[in-house]
């Protein structure tokens, strides 16, 4: 089994305070801690748009929630749950047709 090596930068008091300001800033600090680099705003926006198209990724990968405000999550999480439910239904229906 392959393990992922994570480089953790030290978190200063200032970075910890920044992380507690908002979920978006917490995400930025998390990326910085793991990579030593600040996330590109352009890349972050691309990831947000992708997740909006596939909100089930908020359920499957809870860390993605840090990219969105509480208000956005109230809208996106129910859609993600619905997508997963439909996906499970499609899978079960597909299985029955194979038997």
pLDDT tens digits for range 12-53? 889 889 888 887 788 888 888 888 888 887 888 889 999 999
pLDDT tens digits for range 52-62? 999 999 999 99
pLDDT score for 56: 94
pLDDT tens digits for range 79-93? 999 988 888 776 666
pTM of the entire structure? 0.54
Q: How far apart are CA 79 and CA 17, in angstroms?
A: 32
Non-local (6+) Cβ contacts of 65 within 8 A are 23, 58, 73
């Amino acid at each position: 089994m392959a393990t992922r090596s994570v480089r953790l930068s030290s978190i200063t008091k200032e970075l910890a305070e920044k992380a507690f300001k908002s979920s978006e800033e917490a995400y930025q600090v998390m990326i910085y801690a793991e990579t030593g680099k600040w996330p590109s705003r352009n890349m972050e926006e691309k990831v947000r748009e992708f997740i909006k198209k596939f909100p089930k990724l908020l359920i499957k990968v809870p860390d993605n929630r840090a990219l969105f405000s509480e208000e956005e999550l109230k809208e996106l999480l129910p859609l993600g749950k619905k997508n997963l439910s439909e996906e499970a239904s499609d899978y079960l229906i597909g299985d029955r047709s194979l038997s």
